[in-house]
Amino acid sequence: MQLEAFYHGPKNLWAYAYDNETLHLRVRTKRDDVQRVYAVTGDKYDWERTTHTYPMEKFASDSIFDYWEAQVKPAYRRLNYAFRFEAGTEALWMCESGISHEEPYPPGGYYTFPYIHEIDVFNPPDWAKEAVFYQLFPERFANGDPSNDPEGVEPWGGQPTRENFFGGDLKGVQDHLDYLLDLGINAIYFTPLFKSPSNHKYDTIDYRTVDPHFGTNEQLKELVEACHDKGIRVMLDAVFNHCGYEFPPFQDVLKHGKDSKYADWFHVKEFPLEVRDGIPTYDTFGFFEHMPKFNTANPEVKEYLLDVARYWIGEIKLDGWRLDVADEIDHHFWRDFRRIVKEANPDAYIVGEVWNDSIMWLLGDQFDSVMNYPFSNKVLEFFAAGERDGISFANDMGALLTRYPKQANEVIFNLLCSHDTPRALTLCGEDKRRLKLCVVYLLTYMGTPCIFYGDEIGLSGGGDPDCRQCMEWDFDKQDRELFDFYKLLIGLRKKHGALRDGRFRFLKADPHDRRIIYERMDGKMHFLIWMNNEETPTDMEYPLETNDWKDALSEEPVPVKDGKMKIHLDELGYRIVYRQIK
């Protein structure tokens, strides 16, 4: 056994409380090197009576390592533990004091999880596991009220630029709630709604007022009520990293310099505030001089922004906050943010915009979730670009699963594209079959899926601002076949818990081949998802014991003969089969 590959770190994501009674222990070994791993556990004050050995399950693999997990119920909320590795006739033990060929005498030198504190347990809202989000860019979704249109508004359906406006608003959303219900989504993520001069509104100048081109605070309240009446949750975008240029406290600093009472609200390197050789003398989002960065460590700024977070939860019964540029704001701020938000609404869902590994925000004291762009990238590389083989895709997915505790993986915000990226269909080379493979994967994978408005009717477009085009409302121009496909898959996901938080495992993923099979399973249902990510038709088979499988979309029986299920798939085709577990 390769000892140098063994890894375990107490607490963090290698030993964490999943709920008030359950600890998850994880350990790493070299890939395909160790046959069996056990967690040897007990209470340090009563080892003899409480000792229990748990077989560990290989829950993920990447190209180098296998990752094992055990779900442990400590007798008294405390745990001491060691790991036993077996390969062939060899056995090794690992505990905090080291690796040995002999079982170390318990519990001295063992790893410790001192106590499961309810207050420390990372507990994202349950509803986020059931949610299918729809990301809506309000300026481009629907124009329900021409009387509030900005000056110089362009005809609906024109080419988006960084500056132009098409007049979308809250009334437009309210008018189309039945469309969203028909699609089957049950949560909306709105990009920013508050007063701002731009079409994207990521440069807020008044955090407590809905932009007049979108409507009024009262209209937002009515819209959220209407959503709630229809079972749709609402998440808004909080832009707390920076404000807009016209934000009054920033204007005050511009005017009064270091004598302004707001001088410490921003990160000013040198007065006066100006741009020198393209670099502002104050910190900004990127190098955009019209987006000055807040000093969120300043207690006044913190109180101001936390009041905003609390205000909208109280005012409109908001269900969640998506946090813009969340990784560029200090952790102290986010810890206080979580406390304030969860006090106002214990069921609020907090999603940070972090494009990279986000473990430092996903340990229970800051966010519930992050926008999972690493997922988008891997899924698009495999299905849209057809760049990888099956095994490297499976390895990538395995690596992503091992990044976070299970409760984070269950509600991580999975998306194919957003207002900040090219549209999925465009990345698929406008090949609808490839888009469908992406969508099947998105909607049969764990996490909280999000659909970017218009993807479901075939909108295409490149990067910002091209992806922010007007929604197509002419029924004849919508791709209704694609809409029906999205609707079917969303319905399937909502119907079966196994597709949301059931066990996930690849059953086939090979080198030099883009055909995969994976399973989702809980105590009720067992799903197999077959995908042929190749440009030629194929016949695939997989050994199965029972003969009670059905096609999940047509309900037709799918036979198992001589212990094998054989499936024919068209090029870029898929099939979802399932059985009820008796």
CB 404 within 8 A of CB 23: no
CB of 197 to Ca ion, least distance (A): 16
Chosen residue from 80, 135, 143, 241 binding Ca ion by CB under 5 A = 143
Q: Which amino acid is at 104?
A: P
Comparing CB distances to Ca ion, the nearer of 145 and 211 is 145
Q: How far is the CB of 277 from Ca ion (least distance, A)?
A: 40
Options 145, 237, 336, 353, the catalytic residue: 353
Site string for Ca ion, 90-129 (x = CB under 5 A): ----------------------------------------
Helix (H), strand (E) counts: the chain: 15, 31
Neighbour count for residue 362 (Cβ, 10 Å): 26
Stretch that binds Ca ion, among 7-15, 107-115, 143-151, 336-344 (CB under 5 A): 143-151
Nearer of residues 166 and 337 to Ca ion, judged by Cβ: 166
Nearest-CA neighbor of 80 among 47, 104, 57, 103?
47
Tokens matching residue 300: 């006044």
Q: Which is nearer to Ca ion, 175 or 479 (CB)?
A: 175
The C-alpha atoms of residue 26 and residue 43 are separated, in whole angstroms, by 18
∠ CA 241-200-358, nearest 5°, is: 40
> Applying CB under 5 A, does 175 fall inside the site for Ca ion?
no
Where do we find the tokens 């967690």?
39
Task: Give the containing element (helix H, strand E) for 39.
Answer: strand 36-42
User: Contact region for Ca ion (CB under 5 A) — 82-90, 161-169, 405-413, 553-561?
Assistant: 161-169
- Using rule CB under 5 A, residue 169 touches Ca ion: yes
* Helix (H) or strand (E) run with residue 92 in it: strand 90-95
Nearest of 133, 132, 137 to residue 459 by alpha carbon = 137
Shortest CB 133 distance to Ca ion, Å:
24
Q: Verify binding: residue 138, Ca ion, rule CB under 5 A.
A: no
Q: Does the footprint of Ca ion cover residue 149 (CB under 5 A)? A: yes
Asked if 353 touches Ca ion (CB under 5 A), the answer is: no
- Is 218 part of the annotated catalytic residue set? no
Listing DSSP states for 2-16 in one string gives: -GGG-B--SSTTTEE
Spatial contact of 415 and 454, defined as CB atoms under 8 Å apart = no
Give CA angle at 308 (210, 245), nearest 5°: 65
The nearest distance, CB 209 to Ca ion, in angstroms, is 17
167 binds Ca ion (CB under 5 A): yes
Among 43, 62, 66, 145, binds Ca ion (CB under 5 A): 145
Minimum distance from CB of 163 to Ca ion (Å)?
Answer: 17
- Residue 353 among the catalytic residues: yes
280 binds Ca ion (CB under 5 A): no
Under the criterion CB under 5 A, does residue 418 sit at the interface with Ca ion? no
Range 501-520, binding Ca ion (CB under 5 A): none
- Binding segment for Ca ion (CB under 5 A), chosen from 138-146, 357-365, 367-375, 383-391, is 138-146
Q: CB of 16 within 8 A of CB of 122?
A: yes
What is the distance between the alpha carbons of residues 209 and 535, in angstroms, rounded to a whole number?
Answer: 52
Gap between the Cα atoms of 23 and 461, Å rounded? 45
148 is a contact residue toward Ca ion (CB under 5 A): yes
CB of 200 to Ca ion, least distance (A): 16
Annotated catalytic residue, options 43, 237, 283, 324: 324
Quickly tell me which residue has 């959503």 as its tokens: 227
Contact footprint for Ca ion (CB under 5 A): 143, 145, 148-149, 167, 169
Residues recognised as catalytic: 324, 353
